[in-house]
Amino acid sequence: MKKLFVFIGLIGISLCGLSVGTSAFYIDSDLEARGVAAPITSYDGYQQYVNYYGTDKAFFLGQEYFGMIGLTYSLYGISQSVNVAGNALRGVVQARGNLRTAISRNNLLSRKVDLGNEQQGFKSFPAFKRAMGPAGEGQAWHHIVEQHAGNKAKFTPEQLHNTKNIIRLPHGAGSIHAKISGFYSSIRPEITSSPTLTVRQWLGTQTYQQQYDFGMQT
């Protein structure tokens, strides 16, 4: 339907540039019906009109009318096209946002220690590093559920230092690891509902699973 409006609009605009249509052009249908006036033929219609009426004042009214109608449909067609394009663009932006979220989550999951379906826990973080080795150049081992004193008092070493809870992250100034640490140290009332608690302090009051889920979404 939108294509039809645009097509009709273009026809209307084209009519603006024509001197006379290809069919006969009647000056006054009532006069012509009574035999008083003759139809203007498409061939040299303008000059016939001027010779007959002595003026060209009304000759272009038909063209202007069709041009106005054509322009109206053209503007409507353009507005509909813009709406369609806008909706398509919003769909692309939303799809890109969803894809970015999926990629970010997939990248985080890919940084876990690859042991297949096996989950291995250790008595301490040094024991984990002895078994797993260095995180790699420019990388650091990161605990999803942090190993601060509060969590050490609540959870077992195997819960904290295991191959599900520890992942590799880029390390250094401006890195993901640094940004996560800064976020946990910040005060975010919209998350904690507290004007004084840091994200880390608030998170420390949650269960192991809640802390893990929050860390995966950060």
Q: Tokens 């919003």, residue? A: 90
- Kindly write down the DSSP assignment for every residue of 170-203, as one continuous string: E-STTSHHHHHHHHHTS--HHHHS-SS--HHHHH
pLDDT at 119: 82
Model pLDDT, residue 218: 84
What's this model's pTM, rounded to 2 decimal places? 0.49
- pLDDT number for residue 10: 45
Residue 86: exposed, middle, or buried by beta-carbon count in 10 A (0-12, 13-18, 19+)?
A: exposed
Chain centroid offset of residue 11 CA: 35
Q: Say what the pLDDT of residue 105 is.
A: 52
Asked whether the beta carbons of 92 and 125 are under 8 A apart, the reply is no
Q: What is the pLDDT of residues 118-163, one digit of tens each?
A: 689 999 999 999 999 999 999 999 999 999 999 999 999 999 999 9
For 140, the enclosing helix (H) or strand (E) is strand 139-143
Decide if 113 contacts 136 (C-beta within 8 A). Answer: no
Bridge partner list, 170? 139
Mean pLDDT by 10 residues, the chain (218 residues): 45 43 44 52 59 63 56 69 67 56 51 57 96 95 97 96 96 94 96 96 96 94
B/e letters for 20-30, b = 16+ CB within 10 Å, e = fewer, are beeeebebeee
* DSSP H or E stretch at residue 160: helix 157-160
